[in-house]
Structure 1
Amino acid sequence: MAMNRKDLVAAVAERAGTTQSAVSDTVDALFEVLSAQVKKGEKVSIPGWLAVERTERKERTGRNPRTGEEITIPAGHSVKVTAGSKLKAAASE
């Protein structure tokens, strides 16, 4: 079963002994900071847990799946999230 945002906030609040409102505000702030840093092209790294960075995609050729016509897909950006050693270890337990 997947954990959604509400479940995550409740679990963190219980573990930290604080309110769900405080945790919700903290989660919001965390994602605002991550978004701002990625937008600027800066990498955010939490050693052992994860790293988040913006990547660049070059312009490339693709196909329209409906018509089969060759199209040009413009250059753009994406986000790369890399799991750290502690997160990888937790996944293999």
Structure 2
Amino acid sequence: MTKAELIAKVAEKSGLSKKDAEKATGALIDSIVESLVAEEKVQLVGFGTFEVHHREARKGRNPRTKEEITIPASAYPVFKAGKPFKDAVSK
């Protein structure tokens, strides 16, 4: 499902116009991203949890030159599905 298809589905199920559904969907996504950038956990009960995990800096190797390099530390988003969501998908 693409973002456009999601917006159309939200508009259909909620009775909103596509323009309003696009604003609502965009606001939801933007709010989740802003919270994760601020290192806040986002919990949507019955759906799941978004949070930021951190990866330490580590040593790696360039496969072409076999030269040792340092891979910098990074942060990455993680989503953990809630139980009702998992149960609905597994049926």
**Per the shorter chain, which TM-score range?**
over 0.9
Query: In the alignment, does 2:51 pair up with 1:53?
Result: yes
Structure 1 CA distance, aligned partners of 2:12 and 2:77? 31
TM-score (norm 1): 0.90
- Aligned residues: CA RMSD: 1.1
Show structure 1 runs of 4+ deviating over 3 A. Answer: none
Structure 2 CA distance, aligned partners of 1:19 and 1:52? 28
Report the residue type matching 1:82 in the other structure: K
Gaps of 5+ in 1: none
Structure 2 CA distance, aligned partners of 1:71 and 1:48? 43
1:70: how far off? 1.8
Gaps of 5+ in 2: none
Identity %: 37
Summarize deviations over 1:66-93 as a string: whole Å, max 9, x none. Answer: 3232211011111111111111011101
